Structure 1
Amino acid sequence: MENLFALLLDGTAIKELPSSINNLTGLFRLSMCNCTSLVCLPDDICNLARLCYLCLTGCSSLVCLPDNICNLTSLEFLNLTGCSSLVRLPDNICNLARLLYLDLTGCSNLSKLPEYFGNLKSLRQFKVERSGYL
């Protein structure tokens, strides 16, 4: 399935992705919206060199992103809206040179942004709620 372009798992009861996800070398779009049982993403997801679009909207049990997320060198769109259990962003998220869009709306357990957040030079749209966090 190296030629699979998009994987849409929206609304499924999936708890985790298999490590074999890295076999989907042509994957451009991964959408897991409202996968409320999803707790984490495997480190192997960061081997998807062509992944441009990652939508995790409503993944309310998601606690963290892989520490090697900076390996997603093609990532342009990252939507984490409603990931209310997310407690931190990996520091190296700041190395995503192509990231254009980042939405952290509803990530109520995030207390701070990574230190070098300003290094996201390509970022054109950043959404976050103003409340007691960040």
Structure 2
Amino acid sequence: MRRAVFPGLAMLAATLPLAGCSSKPQLYAEEGWVRLAAVPGRPAAAYFIVHGGPKPVKLISVGSDVAITTEMHEGGMAMRRVDSVPIPAGGTVAFQPGGRHVMLYDMNPGVKPGRILSLLLTFSDGTRLHQGARVIGAGDPAPQG
């Protein structure tokens, strides 16, 4: 009697035990979105989540090709500009309404709800990540992760 052998399945089974052993945290961002300003000419706000990699780093800038100037801020009504945000190794840092966020000044007036913008996150170790960010209107509900 001859057995059917599926080489791909055998290879997958051989690598499964290794996958669990080699999973080091990776620096990445997700869940990006931008809320447009209610008043034309006012800044928009960008939000996302950063997951720390194997070593601590600082987020030192966030840029966009549709805004002339960007600034990282902390706080809601009493917000203040920050030059960097620590990202702990293996940790998670959320940019969300009422907390950390990125202000996008002098946005291209052609940007409308439904568009996906590209944010460029730059870290202290030289890493740069592109993060997509869905644009929503000023009165629209925040996207649910």
The structure with the greater share of residues assigned to helix is: 1
* TM-score of the two chains, using structure 1 as the length reference: 0.22
Structure exhibiting the larger radius of gyration computed from Cα positions: 2
* TM-score of the two chains, using structure 2 as the length reference: 0.21
The structure with the greater share of residues assigned to strand is: 2
